[in-house]
Amino acid sequence: MHRENLRNKLERYNSIDEQEIVDKAKMLKFLKSYKDCFERSLSVGHFTGSCWIVSYDGTKFLLTLHKKIGRWLQLGGHADGDSDLTQVSLKEAHEESGLEHIELLSEEIFDIGIHLIPEYLGIPAHYHYDVRFLLRASDPREHIQISDESDDLRWFEKVSDLPQDSGINISRMFEKGKKYCNFDCGRF
């Protein structure tokens, strides 16, 4: 059932640039082509669930310095067979941030991206078909906690605060988050 739900969400998703148009088509084809596309055991790649987390007041966004990749990224991870990527993104947000109070701001997909994960500890290089959702930390008193998967975890106010190699996906999500928060959160 969730496989069909993801297909419908992907079909409704409005890509905002050429890369997202290409990635959306590849994701739909991948979803149709591989029955086990939510399993990390699929060696060519698999779907992952991630999130763009904004602060309670919409003035900051949360990123992790990923231990394996060594770059600042949105929080998220493997589906491990769960085709409900909304729930995967929420689970990963809790695990990787230590935040207990996180709310889903929309059931719809916030952003997408396909990226190559380099070979690591004998696991061959493969692709992550990453589906991202917009979340908000809903308790301003709650503190973040670095997980074992991260070298650092930090709230940022501007994309310009990040290293130059942070990538187009982070900049694109920042702009989308800013537009959403200007409209809904009244900030950014």
pLDDT of res. 50 = 97
Q: How many domains does the chain have?
A: 1
pLDDT of res. 19 = 94
Per-residue pLDDT of the chain in tens (188 residues, 90 and over written 9): 579 999 999 999 999 899 999 999 999 999 999 999 999 999 999 999 999 999 998 889 999 998 888 889 999 999 999 999 999 999 999 999 999 999 999 999 999 999 999 888 888 999 999 999 999 999 989 999 999 989 999 999 888 887 776 767 888 998 898 887 765 554 44
Q: The domain that contains 37 carries what CATH number?
A: 3.90.79.10
CA distances from 179 to 20, 58, 106 (A): 18, 10, 14
- Cross-strand partners of 52: 134
pLDDT of res. 188 = 42
Q: Where are the alpha helices (DSSP H) in the chain?
A: 2-12, 18-33, 85-97, 168-180
- 184 phi, psi to nearest 5 deg: -100, -40
Q: Domain range holding 21?
A: 2-185
pLDDT of res. 184 = 56
